[in-house]
Amino acid sequence: MEPLIKIENVRFAYPNEDEPEQVTEVLKGISLEFRRGELIAVLGHNGSGKSTLAKLLNAVLLPTEGSVLVDGMSTQKEELLFDIRQRVGMVFQNPDNQIVATIVEEDVAFALENMGVPQPEMRERVDEALKAVHMYEYRHHAPHQLSGGQKQRVAIAGIIAMRPDCIVLDEPTAMLDPHGRSEVLRTIKRLNREYGITVILITHEMDEAAQCRRVVVMDHGSVKMDDTPQNVFAQVAEMKQIGLDVPQVTELVDLLRQKGYDLDPHIISEEDCVAAIYDLFEKRRANGADS
């Protein structure tokens, strides 16, 4: 099946501020495919090009070279912009910068009004979107009365109401506290699972990436790794060298492996880590009984 988003040999550069004849290359020729229904995390340190990549996906930015195809439509064709943005919605880091209305449900309706969706249908889609992010009870609230996590979920509802195929979230939890963070992550995962929406999650949080099914690691404008989170995080030394982290459980397993203990380097969840360490103790006990 045709991928939902196809990125082919994309380069992106902008002129250097001090010396305009020179350019700074942010993306150095990357190719990626995102299929329908995927839940993908994009990792990379500041300046690795991951936010630029995000903005290329719904034509906020256009590639200097190469092409980005959304559902077969090139982002370079201006007449397709409307269709592309309806298919790929974006949520940014700061919830306060994305909310425009003074009432939650009006904010969610904003894009639909622009699209000219008729009243009864708009009502239906706004309610559905707010229910999808579990914010329906707050529909008459003013956004400033909400917590950061709630505001971010309203921003997500505004995107859902457009019924997109894909949501791109650029560090949506970076400004939230641990509670808001898990609220938003749960919402994202549910939208992917229950509504089949393709999710591209750009994040600094390794535990968030560990909950996705595919992890793309960016470094200096190139794709460094593209694999399951298990395979990506198993490369502890490489990840640290890039300036990224791995989940604490993976690091623990790595340290024990360095001491010669037989553990699976692909452990990224707490349950698996606890079980594996418990097994080590069981084995020791069994060996102890032999000798």
Partner 1 sequence: MPILEAKDLTYTYSIGSPFEKTAVDHISLQIEQGEFVGIIGHTGSGKSTLMQMLNGLLKPTSGKILLDGNDIWAKKADRRQVRFQVGLVFQYPEYQLFEETVYRDIAFGPKNMGLSESEIDQRVRETAAAVGLREELLEKAPYALSGGQKRRVAIAGVMAMEPRVLILDEPTAGLDPKGREKILDQLARYHKRTGCTILLVSHSMEDVARYASKLLVLNRAKIMCYDTPSKVFAQSDALAQTGLALPQITRVFAALREKGICFSEEVYTVKFGAALLEDALKGGAFKC
Pairing of strands 222-227, 65-70: unpaired
Q: Provide, rounded to whole angstroms, the least separation between the CB of residue 241 and partner 1.
A: 11
Which residue number, 115 or 274, has a Cβ lying nearer to partner 1? 274
Do 247 and 233 meet the contact criterion of CB atoms below 8 Å apart?
yes
- Residues 6 or more apart in contact with residue 109 via CB below 8 angstroms: 101, 122, 126, 161
CA–CA–CA angle 255, 260, 261 (5° rounding): 80
The site for partner 1 (CB under 8 A) is made up of 17, 45-47, 93, 147-148, 171, 174-175, 177-180, 182, 204, 206-207, 243-245, 247-249, 251-252, 255-256, 259, 261, 270-271, 273-274, 277-278, 280-281, 284
Q: How many other CB atoms sit within 10 Å of the CB of residue 272?
A: 17
The first and second tokens of residue 264, run together, are 């699976």
Residue 193 Cα distances to 56, 84, 252, angstroms: 25, 23, 30
Of the CA atoms within 13 Å of residue 128, those in its CB half-sphere come to 14
Q: Provide, rounded to whole angstroms, the least separation between the CB of residue 5 and partner 1.
A: 24
Do 88 and 70 meet the contact criterion of CB atoms below 8 Å apart?
yes
Element (H, E) at 8: strand 5-15
Q: Provide, rounded to whole angstroms, the least separation between the CB of residue 253 and partner 1.
A: 9
Which residue number, 29 or 47, has a Cβ lying nearer to partner 1? 47
Query: Alpha-carbon distance 267 to 286, whole Å?
Result: 24
Which residue number, 207 or 226, has a Cβ lying nearer to partner 1? 207
Number of residues that this document lists for the chain: 291
Q: How many other CB atoms sit within 10 Å of the CB of residue 122?
A: 18
Q: Provide, rounded to whole angstroms, the least separation between the CB of residue 258 and partner 1.
A: 9
Which residue number, 17 or 194, has a Cβ lying nearer to partner 1? 17
Burial of 287 (0-12, 13-18, 19+ CB in 10 A): exposed
Which residue number, 100 or 255, has a Cβ lying nearer to partner 1? 255
Which residue number, 120 or 178, has a Cβ lying nearer to partner 1? 178
Q: How many other CB atoms sit within 10 Å of the CB of residue 194?
A: 9
Q: Provide, rounded to whole angstroms, the least separation between the CB of residue 75 and partner 1.
A: 26
Q: Provide, rounded to whole angstroms, the least separation between the CB of residue 225 and partner 1.
A: 16
Q: Provide, rounded to whole angstroms, the least separation between the CB of residue 115 and partner 1.
A: 32
Q: Provide, rounded to whole angstroms, the least separation between the CB of residue 284 and partner 1.
A: 6
- The amino acid occupying position 112 is L
Which residue number, 95 or 164, has a Cβ lying nearer to partner 1? 95
Which residue number, 118 or 281, has a Cβ lying nearer to partner 1? 281
